[in-house]
Structure 1
């Protein structure tokens, strides 16, 4: 829709974000963005160069009047006709450029280096060359509709969480003046995500079969070793995959995982049995010079990829029965079933699972006085597994 005067400008539809052309001044547009107050209007100078559309922000209406915006647009038209380079401001940054900028900051202290992969794969790869100001709600919903048809409701949720963080970054950097991308109602569009339990093996014979299958795995050394150690430590997938050599305290037989990479945002001490410590040390020379215990085949500066361990479990033929996170449920089940044998209480089991007591005073007490109890339980669990494999 075009506009000629203030009355027509104010009457522009505000139900969706869109650019509307000024019928009197070439390359001058009003961008309407829906909001809680009805909608906001910003002026842009839009022109095409070398096949790419550039947007130059002229200001927000009514802080800048229609006449003032037209004067700025006319001045830019003259410069363009004279062949002068127009100054491209931050409003012309593409989605991909802003994603890369945001990602460098957001990735700091993240244990999962691939945390934003869903956003990159499903949004940035499709719309990355668009100026961030041109990204629309319909673009996002179109991508989400495709994921929904593929029964990837959880992926929609994860993708949108990261997208909102990126958009907030763009707003704070003033790459965007206003947007309706933060108010997509995922639950209304796709229904509420129903909680689901992770597939886990809780039958001893099947657990034994899995352990033996892992020992016979003939794939990548670091993937195999990570799988072999996982039943003993039952860490979360992202924590396990991104373990670093600097976390290993050989003398104390501990993993000292820093608070910055833990879900509970507290340092986590993981007691190691001798057999687990030996298994970790057996790959140290092969992993060198990677900072990671389980480096990627592609680059030793990266850890093994997010779904690698789940794929390996599928290759072993246990995909229908088990996902990687299931190691935690498996350990929890057998540890609770055998409390009369290992003689440790529920609190020690939960601490080994990194289910933290949120009361800070009690948490300090647990960490300082129950480490030896946890050592005893983890040693019992290690012996239990070794005996099961015989």
Structure 2
């Protein structure tokens, strides 16, 4: 017959005095209070481990910090685990490990792991923009917070001041990037679910605006302003280079001498510099080759064709052209990226060229996968005619401006 143990009470525990040797008071069902010679009173749960059936102890902490009621609650929790063949001691160690790991997996740490993968799929400029936006707007407030404790409200409260300034495009990108980080965290087992999945619904959707550009009839006016503008020589050449080649501002700014194939008269932009992560070839015209001739004495001995003013070993800033166009009197009317729209409009209006050729010349993404595979050759020779016509058109506008 099992021995019946009378449960302990607080008075009995308080009055228990230390002895020469350690001894225990039992509360039943494996819970004991150990009293040491130095007077320390500790709660122990004695049980048989599942499967091995070896006897062991699990500490619940010291009295009075852990009260009798709290110790009994811990005992019942442990007994519940044993009923499901779970070792309470192993379970406690696993919980401690998980909690420790959870505290170490901060938003900034996990974001850095995510970014190492992200940066391999996008251009260097875009990757820099992604990380800078997180460093500026997210990390100062949420960077050191464990990802497991990151709530939608915390993220929304952090982004709200940006939305209040009307920077809705920035808000949209931050929501998107935070969600990408959370999806990465779920897929790698850092968290169990994406707590930020719906945060974009807390903000207004930005109205998509086209890049500011001018009408074709104003190209002579632009060329005249460019010829008379009080801007640096390199910047003037940069703008003309971008206009003739129809590339994006960042692609023009980062152009390297090593990318120019003078023999084939082609500029080969590597995939890592392109928005669509696909290499792009630009047939060079007499006008673009002339710009390279002009720039050779300036930067022919360096890496970049259009070097930065203060640090010639680096390339000029992608916003340099924009700043110059504003100073030329086109603020609010034209941006550097709008030069591509201008070229697209004029080329399509001529009806001389297949629209597909124009799209390839602009390095736009082919949405039809079959046609995209077929167009891998990029029609370089066919596009020479497009680029030559466009360069001639620009030169005529320049002449008209001088007249």
Give the TM-score taking structure 1 as reference length: 0.67
Q: 2:129 is paired with a residue of what secondary structure?
A: coil
Distance 1:96 1:308, change over 3 A: farther
1:378, distance to aligned residue in structure 2 (A):
0.8
Structure 1 residues 141-152: aligned runs within 5 Å: 141-152=156-167
Q: Are the equivalent residues in 1 in contact too, given 2:107–2:146 (CA < 8 A)?
A: yes
Counterpart in 2 of 1:272? Answer: 284
Structure showing the higher helix proportion among its residues: 2
The farther-off stretch of 297-306 and 91-100 is 297-306
In the other structure, the counterpart of 2:168 is 153
Residue 255 of structure 1 aligns to a residue in which SS? strand
Give the structure-2-normalised TM-score: 0.65
- Shift of the 25–137 alpha-carbon distance from structure 1 to 2, 3 Å rule, reads farther
2:198 is the counterpart of 1:184: yes
Q: 1:366 to 1:110 in 2, by over 3 A?
A: closer
Q: Deviations over 1:247-290 (max 9, x none)?
A: 22111111122344434444322111122123135435644776
Stretch moving more, 241-250 or 148-157 = 241-250
188-197 or 148-157: bigger deviation: 188-197
Per the alignment, do residues 370 and 169 of structure 1 end up closer, same or farther by CA in structure 2, a change over 3 Å counting? closer
2:388 is aligned with 1:376: no
- Cα displacement (A) at 1:123: 1.0
1:125-151 Cα offsets, whole Å, 9 max, x none, are 443344444544233212322222211
User: Which position in structure 1 is the counterpart of 2:349?
Assistant: 337
SS in 1 for 2:268: strand
Corresponding residue SS for 2:282:
strand
Structure 2 CA distance for partners of 1:126 and 1:369, relative to 1, 3 Å: closer
The whole-number CA distance in structure 2 between the counterparts of 1:360 and 1:71 is 53
Residues 365-385 of structure 1 deviation map (CA, whole Å, 9 limit, x = unaligned): 556484333111211111111
Instruction: Please tell me the root mean square deviation across aligned C-alpha atoms, in Å.
Output: 3.8
Q: Does 1:352 align with 2:333?
A: no
Distance (whole Å) between structure 1 residues aligned to residue 299 and residue 85 of structure 2: 60
Q: Is the 8 A contact 1:289 1:300 kept in 2?
A: no
State how far apart, in whole Å, the 1-side matches of 2:318 and 2:378 are: 35
Match for residue 167 of structure 1? 182
Which ranges in structure 1 are unaligned for 5 or more consecutive residues?
1-23, 27-62, 77-86
Change beyond 3 A, Cα 1:75–1:331: closer
Aligned to 2:20: none
Q: Take 1:306 and 1:25, find their aligned partners in 2: how far apart are those partners? A: 62
8 Å CA contact 2:121–2:277 kept in 1: the answer is: no
- For the residues of structure 2 that align with 1:384 and 1:135, how far apart are their CA atoms? 56
Q: Is the 8 A contact 1:95 1:128 kept in 2?
A: yes
| Higher alpha-carbon Rg | 2
Please state if 1:115 is matched with 2:124: no
Counterpart secondary structure, 2:330: coil
- Render the CA deviation track for 1:57-77: whole Å, top value 9, x for unaligned: xxxxxx99896599559999x
| Cα displacement (A) at 1:163 | 2.2
Determine helix, strand or coil for the equivalent of 2:240.
helix
Contact 1:254 1:272 in 2 (8 A): yes
Q: Which residue of 1 aligns with 2:9?
A: none
Contact 1:215 1:228 in 2 (8 A): no
- Helix, strand or coil: the match of 1:183? coil
C-alpha distance in structure 2 between counterparts of 1:158 and 1:288, whole Å? 38
CA contact (8 A) 2:182 2:194 kept: no
Cα deviation 1:149-204 (Å, max 9, x = unaligned): 21111111112222222333444555x32454431341x32233333222111142
- CA, structure 1 residues 365+73, in 2 after alignment: closer, same or farther (shift >3 Å)? closer
Number of aligned residue pairs: 315
Please tell me whether residue 195 in structure 1 is matched to residue 208 in structure 2.
yes
Greater mean alpha carbon deviation, residues 311-320 or residues 289-298: 289-298
Structure 2: gaps of 5 or more residues = 1-59, 63-83
1:138 maps to which of 137, 142, 153: 153
Query: What displacement does 1:357 show?
Result: 4.5
Distance 1:182 1:64 in 2: 36
